[in-house]
Structure 1
Amino acid sequence: MPNKVKIFFLFLFFLTSIKGNAQIIIGLLFGEALNTEKIEFGLTGGLNRSNFNGYNESEGLNNFNLGFYFHVMLKENSFVSTGVLIRSNVGATGMPTYLLDDPGFDEVFMDGVLTTKVNYFYVPIMYQRRIKNRMLLEGGIQPGLRSRAFDYFNLESNGGDLEFRKNVSDDFTRLDFGLVGGMGYKLKNELKSMSVGVLYYYGLVDVKKNTDAKVNNSSLNVYLRIPIGTGK
């Protein structure tokens, strides 16, 4: 199949399959077309530990990230590292619940725990420096676009768990922006090979509306990057 045809179907498939795990199928089918001599394309995923900076009553929340990446060569050992995190929840847990003006509900969840999960499409844009073709140092900016946000009211009662989910998307800003940086290690001494590493994101935007506290997103991401279409 010609590369132009592959790219056309990739674009069409992406538009119609943005929800779910279509990105994995896209990478497996079209990775060869997206990889060139100076561009590395692949899938990235891993564990993400997020927090609400500025919200003292909150605790860290564990999530999973999934997306794809591009490494564009500028010159030897210098790259632009970018991509899109399609599934990237941030938020926090361990917070006290709040009243919903429903006496029955408020009484049940009075002693419960509140967890907030906010889904963003993050686009890291980083300068990457490679040392001896194995060690990766990278840093830059990371804008994000919010899609949905939910508050989860959780309560352990009589040996069971009760949960209520409330859509709170309008309580958060549509856009997020911050600084991102970290380091990684390529598992093979090759230009295009799997790598593992860590990235830390510090948000500069007060993302929570209608509150006196200033709330900024932050997250620590442990990732695995897998190039697609680079060979057997």
Structure 2
Amino acid sequence: MKKANLLIAVLICFTASAQFDNNFGVKAGTNYSQFRPDVEYYNGEKVQDFQGKLGYYVGGFFNIAISDKSSIRPELLFANQGTTSKEFYVDFFYEEEGEVVNKVNDLMILLPVSYRLALVDFLFLEVGIQPGYTLKRTVVVKEVSFEPSWEGERATYSNFDRFDFSLNGGLGFDLTDQMELNLRYSYGLIERDDIIKTSVISLGLGFNL
């Protein structure tokens, strides 16, 4: 009986959804990401300062209508995220100290699922969740105050926490019937590598196909 009731409920939801416009499309844009919080000594002195870096995302979506004003939207995105890291470096053996600036690039697969609610005809609100998985992490040395010859060196890391999970919130604007502008903030909930969480602002365009 329970299985029959569940099947009926699913059929009712599917029938109701079919009365509205379901659509799919592609989207792309830029993001501004950083890790948080900064790393500090026990006395409050910073040893690693995380700042933002520009990246990008590209992917697709499927919009599942619930009513004429609300929908569920799962997405599949490929994104370049990460952070800019400023570290205070001390090498007692060589008696060197100074600031080292690295750019951390995380190539990620993101699977956002958002509930979207139209506030007015052209403006909608969205909230949801976002699992993510880091395919590759590359660190590029940008500045070394005491050893400029290190600048430009890069390394690929494999031993780090790859899975991420975030809460999303944002606004969207329908520019035309086929094109929308989307602004979203992702707040990471999982502490990765026992230190960091993610923070990402993204802005981009979506196109209904």
RMSD across aligned positions (CA): 2.9
Aligned to 1:219: 200
Bigger fraction of residues in strand: 2
The 3 A distance-change label for structure 1 pair 115 and 99 is farther
What is the aligned partner in structure 2 of residue 58 from structure 1? 50
Per the normalisation by structure 1, the TM-score is: 0.68
Aligned equivalent of 1:143: 131
SS in 1 for 2:159: helix
CA distance 1:63–1:97, change in 2 (3 Å): farther
Separation of aligned partners in 2, 1:174 and 1:94:
18
Select the residue among 136, 141, 163 that pairs with 1:153. 141
Instruction: Report how many aligned residue pairs link the two structures.
Output: 179
Q: Which runs of 5+ in 2 are unaligned?
A: 1-19, 40-48
Give yes or no for contact 1:97–1:153 (8 Å, CA) kept in 2. Answer: no
Distance between the aligned counterparts of 1:202 and 1:145, measured in 2? 15
1:93 aligns with 2:79: no
- Paired position in structure 1 for 2:182: 197
Aligned residue in 2 for 1:49: 32
Number of the residue aligned with 1:180: 168
Q: Hey, what does 2:46 align to over in structure 1?
A: none
Give 1 or 2: higher helix fraction.
Answer: 1
How many angstroms does 1:208 deviate by?
2.3
Name 1:71's counterpart in structure 2: 63
CA distance in 2, matches of 1:91, 1:66: 16
Paired amino acid for 2:68: E
What secondary structure is seen at the aligned counterpart in 2 of 1:207? coil
Measured at CA, do residues 205 and 169 of structure 1 come closer, stay the same or move farther in structure 2, by a change above 3 Å? same
The 1:54–1:155 alpha-carbon spacing in structure 2 relative to 1, beyond 3 Å, is closer
Taking the aligned partners of 1:156 and 1:69, their CA distance within structure 2 comes to 42
Question: How many Å separate the matches in 1 of 2:148 and 2:138?
Answer: 25
- Whether contact under 8 Å (1:45, 1:65) holds in the other structure is yes
C-alpha contact 1:80 1:125 (8 A) present in aligned 2: yes
8 Å CA contact 1:71, 1:79 repeated in 2:
yes
- Asked whether 1:40 is paired with 2:29, we answer no
Equivalence for 1:134:
122
Contact kept in structure 1, 2:31 and 2:203, CA below 8 Å: yes
1:164-199 deviation line (CA, Å, top 9, x unaligned): 11112312x1211010010011012x4xx2000200
Q: Is the 8 A contact 1:150 1:169 kept in 2?
A: no
- Report deviation, 1:155: 3.1
In the TM superposition, what is the alpha-carbon distance from 1:77 to its structure 2 partner?
Answer: 1.1
Structure 1: 5+ residue stretches without partners:
1-36
CA-to-partner distance for each residue in 1:87-106, whole Å, 9 max, x for gaps? x1221114227689xx8xxx
C-alpha deviation, 1:131, in angstroms: 2.9
Q: What is residue 7 of structure 2 aligned with on the other side?
A: none
* Counterpart code for 1:89: N
TM-score (norm 2): 0.75
Task: Tell whether the 8 Å contact from 2:112 to 2:130 is kept in structure 1 after alignment.
Answer: yes
Change (3 A) 1:69 1:78: same
Percent identity between the two aligned chains: 25
